[in-house]
Chains A and B, each alone.
Chain A
């Protein structure tokens, strides 16, 4: 196992810039997720780490060695493809053993390692079956088996659960994380599914337009989004955004929206009069009659333990996740209040968050 270090990685396809300038380090044994919408450059980044694409600029270090221009076959990494890429002309055993054959191991050693791997993945009974008859989940396990059998320096996975049914995806998420806990293998996992990333990753890099917008633990990314994009992309339903125009002094802990003063974490920077965006997660919104920030209930989605109440205000729609016991009926006029210590303030023109007490270690969720 090894650490992966990516320095100022860039990739152009003709005029199209796929990856602008990515730098990150995947620690030894870490489960690292590249998360972003399609076309954000996450797969290209992964393919460059694998050696399937050559970067336009930048460096990739694998366990301290510069592998930027080394062949894929010389990097000692394993790759799990979205479409599994199981060799159709071989059975399960041959598929898993294929990487070992290349290393010139004896057939008895290959047999032993393949069977050991199959046991880890609980697919021993499938070993002598052709791959064409397997279910999606079993194919996924065989693909994982082919990756782990060789004990490589790192695993790279390109949306490995993307081809599975959503219910099964959830099961495989658990299995993948359990496998990772067992093998402690450095893993880079690409996905566009925030739930997969949040539930499995130690560290998430949120990518957009070829840039890493934010790098952090799932909790950091959810609680303290660094940009409007991250705030919007992570969370379901996504964060509410309220536009305002104001100046904020360092230390300020109030922001006025339509005359209503809203408590915010103490600012650590000061901004002159400009367009700002207040970000509020739905679960930090509550309905209170006292508040002067008012609106009309537009929709109610009942989800069992909670319900999502959509309220139209002068500043647009605000969604609140409130307890399912509370009563909210369509057309009702309600007041909204927010949990002050949980709010984020963004600079609208740059899209970046403004530093506040929220970003200081202590305030956790």
Chain B
């Protein structure tokens, strides 16, 4: 058995040279992709002068100033005024006072970040829910004009979504959906649902009908069979689809700029507009971007184990 399984994957054992070349390529590729991320994290820990110094500083004193600037609004005061204030209590207050600034209140970042979470998770859940039901229907039932409908669903993605930005802007204004979280959730769902239907239909097509038929003969209704037999086996597909939908909704920028300005604005249009004294506050932008990367990373890592297909293999012999 062991001999068979090893030959099934690689016919020839790779030579040590090719292994070395492969390792070098992997390391180089990893570096190339990691550098921008590394740069963002490093920038978030620099002081504003360090962040724009040229040549870029590799060695610097890390500071939490960027994060303080991200989460707070500040004003400049004279040193005489600062002397009259009670001593700084938090780390952020200390850092800002060194630059003759005073924290006057929290910034909008927390709110924007929360909006992003609500919109991304909301639209992902809705897209995956609708996508799963529609995909199951297309996969299992005789739907009139099935192929045309599927093509229509796919065709909604043929145009870049931004091409319909103006009509959507006008429609949203009429409907009162501008600058609302529900409006953004609906919009992202509309974009994602076609991807969800197509991806999930592929996954559900692969689940043999016999499973549901067996469950229905065993006394379950179709809905119960769907819940207890199809859904658990479609987990991989559902998770993969959810990750794709999540990434789109989390990162989307153009519609967010166009349709939101206040209440419902998510983080992407907000982060690059953080302006400090005398121009862009790059450490704060870096801090915002770093924090913005974390949820999608956590989401993917948490769901990663469901992406393993191994458990579903071998129960049906083909």
Contact = CB atoms under 8 A, between A and B. Distances in A.
A72 B216 contact: yes
A356 to B, nearest CB: 45
B244 to A, nearest CB: 23
A77 B311 contact: no
Nearest to B232: A89
A98 B217 CA distance: 11
Interface residues of A, number: 32
Interface stretch (A131-139, A250-258, A294-302): A131-139
A86 B316 contact: yes
B317 to A, nearest CB: 5
B164 to A, nearest CB: 40
Interface string A48-89: 001110000000000000000001110111110101111111
A99 interface: yes
Contacts of A136: 317
Given A83-B316, A84-B317, A103 B213 contact: no
Given A132-B314, A133-B314, A136-B317, A85 B218 contact: no
Among the interface residues B208, B219, B233, which one has the most CB atoms of the partner chain A within 10 A?
B219
A70 B219 CA distance: 12
Which secondary structure characterizes the binding site on chain B?
Answer: helix
Contact of B217 (A50, A131, A139): A50
Contacts of A103: 219
A150 B314 contact: no
B218 A163 contact: no
Nearest to A149: B218
B317 A52 contact: no
Contact of B219 (A88, A99, A132, A133): A99
A51 B233 CA distance: 24
Among the interface residues B214, B229, B312, B316, which one has the most CB atoms of the partner chain A within 10 A?
B214
Among the interface residues A86, A88, A130, A139, which one has the most CB atoms of the partner chain B within 10 A?
A88
A130 B208 CA distance: 19
A84 B316 contact: yes
Interface string A78-114: 1101011111110000000011001100000000000
B35 interface: no
Contact of B311 (A79, A83, A132): A132
B177 interface: no
Interface string B195-221: 000000000000010110111111111
A71 B314 CA distance: 29
Interface string B291-317: 000000000000000000001111111
B318 interface: yes
B317 A83 contact: yes
Given A89-B311, A89-B312, A73 B216 contact: yes
Contacts of B215: 87, 98
Nearest to B318: A83
A47 to B, nearest CB: 8
Contacts of B211: 85, 87
Nearest to B235: A89
Contacts of A163: 317
Contact of B233 (A71, A75, A88): A88
Contact of A71 (B210, B216, B311, B313): B216
Interface in B214-241: 214-221, 224, 229, 232-233
Contacts of B220: 73, 102
Nearest to A162: B317
B53 to A, nearest CB: 57
Given A81-B210, A87-B229, A51 B314 contact: no
A85 B219 contact: no
Among the interface residues A98, A133, A146, A163, which one has the most CB atoms of the partner chain B within 10 A?
A98
Nearest to A158: B210
Contacts of A72: 213, 216-217
Contacts of A102: 218-220, 224
Contacts of A84: 315-317
Among the interface residues B215, B313, B315, B318, which one has the most CB atoms of the partner chain A within 10 A?
B315
Contact of A88 (B213, B216, B217, B314): B314
Interface in B152-204: none
A51 B217 contact: yes
Given A83-B208, A88-B233, A131 B214 contact: no
Contact of B214 (A71, A85, A139): A85
A146 B216 contact: no
A336 B313 CA distance: 56
B214 A81 contact: yes
B233 A77 contact: no
B312 A88 contact: yes
A93 to B, nearest CB: 15
A85 B317 contact: no
B313 to A, nearest CB: 6
Interface in A264-295: none
B307 to A, nearest CB: 15
Contacts of B213: 50, 52, 72, 79, 81, 85
B203 to A, nearest CB: 14
B315 A86 contact: yes
Closest 8 CB pairs of A and B: A88-B315, A99-B218, A85-B210, A102-B219, A89-B232, A132-B314, A85-B214, A83-B316
Interface of B: 208, 210-211, 213-221, 224, 229, 232-233, 311-318
13 contacts: A84-B317, A85-B208, A87-B215, A87-B229, A87-B232, A87-B233, A88-B316, A89-B232, A98-B215, A98-B218, A99-B219, A146-B218, A150-B219
Given A73-B218, A79-B214, A88-B311, 4 more contacts: A76-B219, A85-B208, A88-B233, A150-B218
